[in-house]
Amino acid sequence: MSVLRGPRFLVDALRLLRTRKELWPLCVLPMLLNLLVFGLAAWAFIANLAELSQWISSGIPAPEAQVWYEWLWVGPLRAISWLVQWLLLLAFLVAGYFAFTVFGALIASPFLDVLSERIESICLGDGSPRPSASWREIWLSALRSLREEGKRVAFFVAIQLVFVVLALIPGAQAFAVAGGALFTALFLPLDYTGYVLDRRSVRFGQRRDWIWRNRTTMLGFGSTALFTLLIPGLNFLCLPLFVTAGTLLAIEVGPPQASSDSRGVPEVAGSEAH
């Protein structure tokens, strides 16, 4: 598959959600939960912006000029110091933004798991209602979703912390930002296909190998999702869309332990085969 196929899963997901109104309640609640998390994240960052800026400034030397001609080298050094401070602040902002985005997905994961299961049932030709689950089954399913999503959140935060530490090294800020963006673009398909892979008990190592083997398609999907998430506010609006698209991606590409099944994304609402 080409890199352009990745974004098309999002188009297919939007078409599917638009035509299946019975899925809308499963989309609204995760959006409301993420709206709450997004508001709390924005408030926390703004409330602590002065302290964070002061902490960053305290770790970066600001040379002073004693006589006028020392400004020949002090001036450029101060400009570099100012630029480094803003790059570090930007790195903290991006890392915090995506950390809270993933945390919002963690809170909404039980509902997103049900949405993904319904999408998979529709796409595999079994759109009939499932028998009512017992409260114990619902509770165990919710705990599984929280546990597995929690593992992905921990993995994401741990790697992003590495890039934050790298950003503290003078001259490495650009590499930290670029590396963090590339990692996020590959992590997003890992996260949004996770609900399908959780139900199939695919090990984490197998998932990483699967993402890397299909890295062209995954980068196309992840880059599109990343660009969308960079638009403030769309993270909570698009979360159900991303989970739906990730479910379609997992079915069509063929995840580990399910690749022997000839499963493809069926035609959705009159779309052409890709």
- Give the pLDDT confidence of 175-215 residue by residue, as tens digits: 888 888 888 888 888 888 888 888 887 888 888 888 888 88
In whole angstroms, give the CA distance from residue 188 to residue 184. 6
Comparing 173 with 118, the larger pLDDT belongs to 118
- Residue range 107-113: mean pLDDT, rounded: 82
- Give the pLDDT confidence of 3-53 residue by residue, as tens digits: 677 788 988 999 999 999 888 888 888 888 777 877 777 787 777 777 777
- Give the pLDDT confidence of 207-256 residue by residue, as tens digits: 888 888 888 889 899 898 888 877 766 766 788 899 999 999 998 887 66
pLDDT confidence of residue 145: 65
Six-digit token string for 158: 């741990």
pLDDT confidence of residue 167: 76
CB 5 within 8 A of CB 93: no
pTM of the model: 0.66
In whole angstroms, give the CA distance from residue 126 to residue 62. 65
State yes or no: pLDDT of 99 exceeds 80. Answer: no
- Residue range 76-88: mean pLDDT, rounded: 72
State yes or no: pLDDT of 265 exceeds 50. Answer: no
pLDDT confidence of residue 248: 93
State yes or no: pLDDT of 104 exceeds 60. Answer: yes
